[in-house]
Structures are given as structure tokens and as C-alpha cells.
Amino acid sequence: MRQDRVGFVGLGNMGGRMTRRLVDAGIAVRGYDTDAGRAAAAGAQPAASMREAVEYADVVLLSLPDSRVVEAVVEGADGILAACRAGQVVVDLSTAAPSSTQRLAALFAARGVQYVDAGISGGAAAAEKGTLTLMVGGDAATIEALEWVFAPFSSKVLNMGGSGAGHTTKLLNNFLNAVSLAASAEVMVAGKKAGLDLHRLLDVLNSSSGVNFATLNRFPYIVDGNYLEGGLTSKLMTKDVVLYVELARELGVASLNASGPMSCFGLATALGYGEQISNRVVDAIGDVSGGVRLKSE
């Protein structure tokens, strides 16, 4: 496997940041996105077509919204399957349904191409710093050989098992993320209405059994009016919760805690926050709780 040529398909919020890390590490990236300006903005060589990006590289990275888009990009008439060649590796960094991932892996395998699923965690800030956590599924030897690709944008790479294991782990993680963010948002709105000092409330929570990622890393900023814009939107968070519920159904696991985040992020979308960072769910809950904002104007 050459260690100097990468094709990157999907240069949005996360893909663009990962591309920039690769380019800054001295790796030549041929980028393709439906928004033609994104490749150059991320420092990549713009590809005129997806085929050009695929044919250029030995490793092709995907960062796309969901399985529906991944399937269209892979299986379309001018998609990756039509352009790929034996010996290539395709890495899907999207949040996708594991069952879809496994089906696509079989299609790629028939063409002599390794398909690796790599869920990512850490958000836009970690992508910019190169400190993402990757949870990866696929052929173990292939994953090990991808270290040069992963190193510029990740600080931890965990091999979770065979095809689909990376995306399965991502859905489990994102579901807990959704639960903790939604529940913490509700608690902070309640604390505001009760007249508590929110910084002191967070100090208590972060020193007690209520501590979670949102109380540690999000609300210390949100209470001062910084929503950490640029991360996962409420619409995408809802999509991830739906994917988790579908996975739980396929596994035969009772999904008893999904209604809370589904309601909260659905509410955020209905109230106009769908395209904004999911941290804005606290404002949606505040809106229906008497117009509460954590930061006093």
C-alpha cells in the first residue's frame, strides 16, 4: 500500500477537517464533494469527479451523512464500486448502519477491495487537533497497515473486530452521548429556573454521581453562552438515535431509553434548531419551559 496518496469523498464539517490534517502531514489528498469549493478549502487537490478521486488513490476515505448516502456513493452508476480496483482500501468514517456496512464490505471483497468501517468520536475540535478516537472494524492486518492514514487526525485507534464492529461501537457511543446531553440539558434548565448558580451546580455534578461528558465538556461553556458551534447537529443526533434503535431491534435488545433523546432532539428540530449544534437542545427545552436561557442577558 502506497503511503502518499489518499482520495477523500465528503469534505463537510468533519471530512474537511480530517483532510486538512492529512494535507498538513504531507499526504497528497485528492478530494471530492458535491460542493466543489470544499476540496480546495481543506487544502486537497480538487477532483473533477468521484471516479478521479478513487482512481488516484490506494486508500479512499468516506465521510458522509448516513448509510443512504454511503450506499448511493458506493453503488451508484459512477460510484466507488464502479471505479475501484483490487488492492485498494476504502475506509468509511461515517456514522452508518452496521448491517449496511457488512453488505457493502461483501461487495467490495468480491472486487478484491478491503472495506473498513471507522467510527469517530471527539467532534470538530478533536478533528482540528488530530485527537479523534477511532473505533474500527474490518480485517486486522489492513487496519494495522492504515496507521499512517489515521495518525494525522486521531490519537487513539481501537480495533473492535470484524466488519461492522466499528460502526456498531459508534452507535452505542452516540446513543449514550445523546442520552447524557438531553438529560443534562433538562437538568440545567431546571437548575436555572430554581435560581441556582449554574457554575456551582456543575461543580457539584462533576464531583458527584451525575457527572457525564456533557457536564464536563459542554455545559461549562454553554452556561456562559458559548454553544461550541460546529459539531453534530440536532438532526444528525436524531438520525444516530434512530440507527441505534434499529440496531437494538436487530440484536433483540429492549430499547427502553431512546424516547428521551428522540423527543428532545426532535423538539429541537421542530423549533428551528435542527441544523445547529445539538447543544442547542438546551434552548429548545428552555423554550417550552417558559423561555429559559442559561446565560442571563
Phi/psi of residue 135, nearest 5 degrees: -115, 115
| Per-residue model confidence as pLDDT tens digits over 155-164 | 999 999 999 9
Q: Are strands 154-161 and 89-92 parallel, antiparallel or unpaired?
A: unpaired
Under 8 Å CB-to-CB from 213, ≥6 apart: which residues? 177, 180, 181
Q: What is the pLDDT of residue 231?
A: 83
The arithmetic mean of pLDDT across residues 231-254, rounded, is: 96
pLDDT over 70 (residue 2): no
Q: What is the pLDDT of residue 138?
A: 98
Report how far residue 239's alpha carbon sits from residue 241's, in angstroms, rounded to the nearest whole number: 5
pTM for the predicted model, two decimal places: 0.94
Burial label for 194, CB within 10 Å (0-12, 13-18, 19+), is exposed
> What fold, for 169-287?
N-(1-d-carboxylethyl)-l-norvaline Dehydrogenase; domain 2 (1.10.1040)
∠ CA 253-178-290, rounded to 5°: 125
pLDDT over 90 (residue 287): yes
pLDDT confidence of 239, banded at 50, 70, 90?
very high
pLDDT over 70 (residue 245): yes
| Per-residue model confidence as pLDDT tens digits over 260-280 | 999 999 999 999 999 999 999
Domain 5-162 = CATH 3.40.50.720: yes
Report how far residue 117's alpha carbon sits from residue 31's, in angstroms, rounded to the nearest whole number: 19
Side chain identity at residue 243, one-letter code: L
CA terminus-to-terminus distance, the chain: 56
Q: Where in the chain is the domain with CATH 3.40.50.720?
A: 5-162
Report how far residue 104's alpha carbon sits from residue 238's, in angstroms, rounded to the nearest whole number: 24
Q: Within 13 Å, how many C-alpha atoms sit on residue 261's CB side?
A: 28
Q: Where in the chain is the domain with CATH 1.10.1040.10?
A: 169-287
Give the DSSP H/E element, type plus range, for residue 7. Answer: strand 5-9
pLDDT over 80 (residue 4): no
CB 166 within 8 A of CB 116: yes
Count each helix (H run) and each strand (E run) in the chain, helices first.
16, 8
CB 228 within 8 A of CB 276: no
Nearest to residue 267, comparing CAs of 288, 253, 252, 246?
A: 288
Q: Which residues pair with 159 in a beta bridge?
A: 136
Catalytic residues: 170
Q: What is the pLDDT of residue 236?
A: 93
pLDDT confidence of 3, banded at 50, 70, 90?
low
pLDDT confidence of 296, banded at 50, 70, 90?
confident
| Percent of the residues in the chain that have a pLDDT greater than 90, as a whole number | 94
pLDDT over 70 (residue 143): yes
CB 138 within 8 A of CB 109: no
Q: In what side-by-side order are the strands of the sheet with 89-92?
A: 45-46, 28-32, 5-9, 59-62, 89-92, 114-121, 132-137, 154-161
pLDDT over 70 (residue 1): no
Grid coordinates of 60? 479512499
**How many other C-beta atoms are found inside a 10 Å radius of the C-beta of residue 72?**
11
Query: What does pLDDT average to over the chain?
Result: 96
pLDDT over 90 (residue 144): yes
| Per-residue model confidence as pLDDT tens digits over 80-131 | 999 999 999 999 999 999 999 999 999 999 999 999 999 999 988 899 999 9
